[in-house]
């Protein structure tokens, strides 16, 4: 089973790219971020006609996450919003269960806050969100299901995850506190799916639109799929669909995919 995460940076603007990817790669589950639309404006009809069921958690103009499952897979037990702060109205988390031959696959699509500028409430919110995510992830892990926490984490875990790490030392994506919060998820028993399969430097998932970052390959790796022990035991492969960054009017992120053997 192939599970993909992709920050599409406006699902309506990137719809042709998304439909092309679904037809080309035929992922079984897709976790989308940064929809930039309310639920009613999501292109549900087009996605369903492409063979996928849809669950969304949208927000006008920014944020927004979605889960797609290739038919006949259903999406059950859908949770919208990350627990832990009832006053948080930002649409950054959606989770669902999918029955598979080996039991249940639980998948979350996550759009973590950017956190810039540092020293403002935006960075405080980022760290608080990461703490809430860790607490919820530990609760989910206790169920011993095959669990994949996928999304745009807005965290560069290690220096080798940036073409020019020195350029990011003061950025919220690379500050020690951000990286430590990400490591806390790994220390809680989760596996970085891509790094478990490929430890090479130069694997990036984001290239800024500015300063010729894409032509110069000045990328960073901030899109991750974290696997519970039950998912990591079934990990077959992981890959980055880098070629999609070269399309006309692309997202600044590209898909990242893991393949699990779920019997």
Q: What is the CATH number of the domain that holds 84?
A: 3.60.10.10
CA atoms in the 13 A half-sphere facing the CB of 262: 23
Please give the pLDDT value at position 263: 84
Please give the pLDDT value at position 102: 86
Instruction: Convert the pLDDT of each residue in 76-116 to its tens digit.
Output: 999 999 999 999 999 999 999 999 998 999 999 999 999 99
pTM > 0.75: yes
* Active-site residue list: 111, 152
**Domain carrying residue 54:** 2-260
| Under-70 pLDDT residues of the chain | none
> What are 258's strand-pairing partners?
3, 238
Question: Nearest-CA neighbor of 106 among 119, 97, 117?
Answer: 97
- Number of domains forming the structure of the chain: 1
Q: How many residues does the chain have?
A: 263
Beta strands per DSSP E along 25-145:
29-33, 52-57, 65-70, 76-80, 93-100, 103-111
* CB contact at 8 A, 56 and 69: no
């Amino acid at each position: 089973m192939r599970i993909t995460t992709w920050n599409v940076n406006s699902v309506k603007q990137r719809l042709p790219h998304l439909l092309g990817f679904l037809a080309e790669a035929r992922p079984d589950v897709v976790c989308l971020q940064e929809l930039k639309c309310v639920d009613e404006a999501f292109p549900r009809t087009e996605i369903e006609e492409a063979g996928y069921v849809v669950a969304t958690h949208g927000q006008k103009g920014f944020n927004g996450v979605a889960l797609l499952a290739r038919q006949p897979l259903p999406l059950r037990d859908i949770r919208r919003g990350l627990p832990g702060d009832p006053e948080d109205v930002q649409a950054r988390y959606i989770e669902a269960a999918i029955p598979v031959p080996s039991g249940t696959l639980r998948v979350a699509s996550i759009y973590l806050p950017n956190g810039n500028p540092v020293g403002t409430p935006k960075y405080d919110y980022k760290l608080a969100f990461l703490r809430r995510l860790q607490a919820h992830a530990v609760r989910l892990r206790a169920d011993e299901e095959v669990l994949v926490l996928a999304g745009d984490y807005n965290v560069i875990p290690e220096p080798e995850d940036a073409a020019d790490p020195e350029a990011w030392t003061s950025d919220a994506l690379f500050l020690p506190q951000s990286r430590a919060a990400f490591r806390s998820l790994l220390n809680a028993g989760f596996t970085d799916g891509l790094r478990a399969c490929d430890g090479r430097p130069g694997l990036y998932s984001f290239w800024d639109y500015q300063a010729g970052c894409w032509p110069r390959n000045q990328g960073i790796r901030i899109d991750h799929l974290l696997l519970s022990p039950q998912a990591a035991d079934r990990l077959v492969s992981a890959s980055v669909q880098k070629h999609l960054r070269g399309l006309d009017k692309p997202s600044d992120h590209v898909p990242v995919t893991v393949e699990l053997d779920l019997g």
